[in-house]
Amino acid sequence: MKLELDRSAFIAIDVQNDFCPGGALAVKDGADIIPLVNKLSAFFKYSIATQDWHPQTHVSFASSHLGANAYSSIIINGQENVVWPDHCVQGSRGADFHPSLRMEPYRLVIRKGTRPELDSYSAFYENDGKTATGLDGYLKGLGINTVVLAGLAFDYCVFFSARDAARLGYKTMVVEDASKPVGSPPGSVEEAVKDMQSRAVAIIKSGDILS
């Protein structure tokens, strides 16, 4: 696959300790994607990383809601949301990027989910759908028209980032073998794929780019 590298960006989503084996919200085999993510970030002229960066009482934590169990869905601010184990707490080891992730290629780190009352799956917007992270303005300033996404997790933060990228007018690709899913609730992966395909998001393999 040929890309116009001067107008393309790679976005690595949340490759952090808490989402890898041994972490508070570990994605199965999450660390296995890191060698491919490293190859992709080095391939692109413009690479950006995102980092979940939550305060200790974050709204997405089950512990912030009396009687809520992790991985269950509850109503928050009138919307249904999944709540999670405490994870990626600001300044904690769990919030750090995985030590195997090579940081040299990244020009920008977007920290998201920093407000106690608002979660942020997407690299572009908080979960209210209107509070911008600043990434869109950064990319538009560089003249970027294509984004390639990978990371953790395929059916949550990668998916929501791809959805917003497509809505903002970027040609959007998700590297399936450089991403891993949570897979909860059942069907989340299939629903994410169906939704992305309906938005003309291309689901590709790393070899489509690196070869």
Domain assignment of residue 188, given as a range: 5-54+89-210
**71 within a domain of the structure (yes/no):** no
**47 within a domain of the structure (yes/no):** yes
Of the residues 14, 52, 119, 136, only one is catalytic, namely: 14
pLDDT for position 89: 97
Give the distance from CA 12 to its chain's centroid: 7
Cα separation values, 22 from 17, 106, 121, 153, 174, Å:
8, 25, 21, 16, 26
**150 within a domain of the structure (yes/no):** yes
**34 within a domain of the structure (yes/no):** yes
Contact assessment for residue 122 and residue 163, using Cβ atoms and an 8 Å cutoff: yes
Query: Tokens 């920290």 identify what position?
Result: 111
**59 within a domain of the structure (yes/no):** no
**163 within a domain of the structure (yes/no):** yes
pLDDT for position 160: 97
pLDDT for position 2: 74
Kindly give the pairing relationship between strand 106-112 and strand 46-52. Answer: parallel
pLDDT for position 27: 96
Catalytic annotation present for 14: yes
Helices (H) and strands (E) in the chain, counts: 5, 8
3-state secondary structure of 140: helix
> How far apart are the C-alpha atoms of 178 and 50, rounded to whole Å?
15
The pTM of the full predicted model, rounded to 2 decimals, is 0.94
Of the residues 18, 86, 136, 157, only one is catalytic, namely: 157
> How far apart are the C-alpha atoms of 9 and 95, rounded to whole Å?
24
pLDDT for position 30: 97
Count up the domains in the chain and report the number.
1
Of the residues 18, 52, 88, 112, only one is catalytic, namely: 112
Kindly give the pairing relationship between strand 8-13 and strand 46-52. Answer: parallel
- pLDDT 10s digit of each residue in the chain, 211 long? 678 999 999 999 999 999 999 999 999 999 999 999 999 999 999 999 999 999 999 999 999 999 899 988 888 877 788 899 999 999 999 999 999 999 999 999 999 999 999 888 999 999 888 899 999 999 999 999 999 999 999 999 999 999 999 999 999 999 999 999 998 788 999 999 999 999 999 999 999 999 8
**77 within a domain of the structure (yes/no):** no
Catalytic annotation present for 88: no
Look up the CATH number of the domain holding residue 194. Answer: 3.40.50.850
Contact assessment for residue 77 and residue 126, using Cβ atoms and an 8 Å cutoff: no
pLDDT for position 1: 65
**40 within a domain of the structure (yes/no):** yes
> How far apart are the C-alpha atoms of 90 and 154, rounded to whole Å?
23
